Every structure is written in C-alpha cells, then in structure tokens.
Amino acid sequence: MSLTQEEINELSQLLDARAIGNRSRPRPKLRLIVPPTPKLLDSIARDAHLKRVAFLERRYGLHWLVEQQCFGVASVTLLEDCDLIRLLTMMERARECIAEGVSFEDADLVRPLDSAAEFRDRNAEHEADRAGIAASKITALRPNPRDWSQSPF
C-alpha cells in the first residue's frame, strides 16, 4: 500500500493549507488560574468535628441545636468550615450547660423564631396546594433562608 507521487503532493498541499490556516487564527488568551482559598479544616479535622457533633447530638439530645444551626442547609455535612466549628463550640457549651444545670435560654443558645417568616412559608405552601402547583415549584415561593453567618455564636 504505497502512495503515488500525486497523492503525496495532494496530502502535502492539504497539510500546508492547514498549517497556514492555523497561523492566521488568533492565539488563545492565557489567564491566571486563582488557587482555591485555604480551608480552615483539612479532611481529617473535619471528620473529627463531624464525629464529635454526632456524638454530642446522640448523647445529650442536642438534635434541636443541630437543626437550628443547619437552617437552610440540607445536612450537617454540607456546612462550611466556620459554621461547623461554630456548631461544635455551641454544642460543647450546651453540654456544659447540661452538666452545670444552666438553661439553654440563659446561655443564649436558643434563637427566637421569626413567626412572621414561618407564617409566610406556611401560607406560600397553602397557596401552592390550592393553585395545584407542583412540589418543585413550591420552593420558588418560599422566602430565602435566613443568613446566620453574621451570628456572634
């Protein structure tokens, strides 16, 4: 299977045309890739924090505190590092409150409920049920989750 001189000339002309065409194309613009921001916790420390949170939740019945801190987040494992650290410190403080007999309200661990936002949320679900809107569209009617990142805890 050898190529004839004519086929070789056609192939060389085709390759030359491609090479000349590549020269006329603009070069890609290079950009600097920003390295990711450093994390507070590495994977081992994060796993240790999650295990400690799970232990305190089971042992001292602090599920309500985890739910309060995870408001607007699907799971405790999806919390940002700073929120996970904040949750663990609050749970340790709650454990100390149980041991010393101090109420959670006195230790400022219980956040007040925004009853107006809760009412709006329930009202939006009721309106969606009445209008026959699918469950996936109900979330669009709900108010945005509260931002607790500015909390002093």
Mean pLDDT of 22-30: 67
The beta strand positions in 14-152, using DSSP E, are none
Is the pTM higher than 0.85? The answer reads no
What six digits make up the tokens of 146? 């509260």
b/e map 20-45, b = 16+ CB within 10 Å: eeeeeeeeeeeeeeeeeeeeebeeee
Residue type, 41: L
- Give the separation between CA 80 and CA 148, rounded to whole angstroms: 12
pLDDT 10s digits, 88-139: 999 999 999 999 999 988 888 888 766 555 555 555 555 655 665 544 444 4
- Give the separation between CA 83 and CA 148, rounded to whole angstroms: 9
